[in-house]
Amino acid sequence: MLFLVAGEARGEVLKLDEPLSFWGGVDPETGEIIDLRHPQSGMSVKGKILMMPFGRGSSSGSSVIAEGIRSGSGPSGIIMMEADEIIALGSIVADEIYGKAMPVVIVGKSEYESFTTGQQVVVSGSGLSLI
């Protein structure tokens, strides 16, 4: 396990069936998934530990991530299998300007597959654990 952006979080897992572009994919005010082609369209990322294998789409995603951290409508943490700089950057900048980071964690395939939607997870310096 590797922290792309360090931080602590807890929440319910929402495991995405497909990668999501935050810009054009998530409403920054409500956290709702607005990409109509996404299989989990209509669900909310707010407060969730969001899992997606890798990133996708527009580089404006960093702004939507930072806005979600500022307003509290974004995920509380993100778990991925591949590093994504667009997501990392949104969290780094929120940390710099508001002192609030959202942890972004990279895990191997077997650990990634061990989590499912609906589980309660804690992200801490020592790793990921189920509550």
Partner 1 sequence: MSVNLSESDQAYLNGEQGPAAASAMRVIVRLAEAMGASELLDVSSAHIDSCLYHGPAVLDFAKWLEDQGGKVKIPTTLNVSSLDLIHPDLYRGDSHWGEQARLLMDSYERMGCKPTWTCAPYQLEERPNFGDQVAWAESNAIVFANSVLGARTHRYGDFIDICAAICGRAPAAGLHLDQNRKGEILFRIKGINESLLDRDVFYPVLGHLVGKCTGSAIPVIQGLPNEVSEDRLKALGAAAASSGSVGMFHAVGITPEAPTLEEAFLGLTPREVIDVTIDKIISARDELSTVSDFKVGAVSLGTPHYSIQEIQKLSQLFDGRSVNPEIKFYVSTGRDVLTEASLRGLVEPLEKAGVIFVTDTCTYITPIIEDVARPVITDSAKWAYYAPGNLGVEVIFAAVEDCVTSAVSGSFSADNSIWMDG
**Least distance from C-beta 108 to partner 1, angstroms?**
16
- The question of whether 58 is a catalytic residue gets the answer yes
| Joined tokens for residue 69 | 């951290």
CA distances from 114 to 19, 51, 55 (A): 18, 11, 20
- Contact positions toward partner 1, by CB under 8 A? 4-5, 19, 21, 23-25, 28-29, 34-37, 54-64, 66-67, 69-71, 82-86, 88-90, 92-94, 96-98, 104
* Active-site position among 21, 44, 58, 62: 58
Our CB check for partner 1 shows the closer of 12 and 56 to be 56
Residue 23 or residue 115: which is nearer to partner 1 going by CB?
23
Could you tell me the strand order of the sheet in which 49-51 lies?
2-5, 104-106, 77-80, 49-51, 9-15, 120-124, 127-130
- As a whole number of angstroms, the distance between CA 53 and CA 72 comes to 23
CA dist 96 and 79 (Å) reads 21
Question: Tokens at residue 102, please?
Answer: 């959202």
Report, in Å, the least distance between residue 55 CB and partner 1.
6
What's the closest the beta carbon of residue 38 comes to partner 1, in angstroms?
A: 9
Q: Select 54 or 120, whichever has its Cβ closest to partner 1.
A: 54
Q: Enumerate the active-site residues.
A: 58
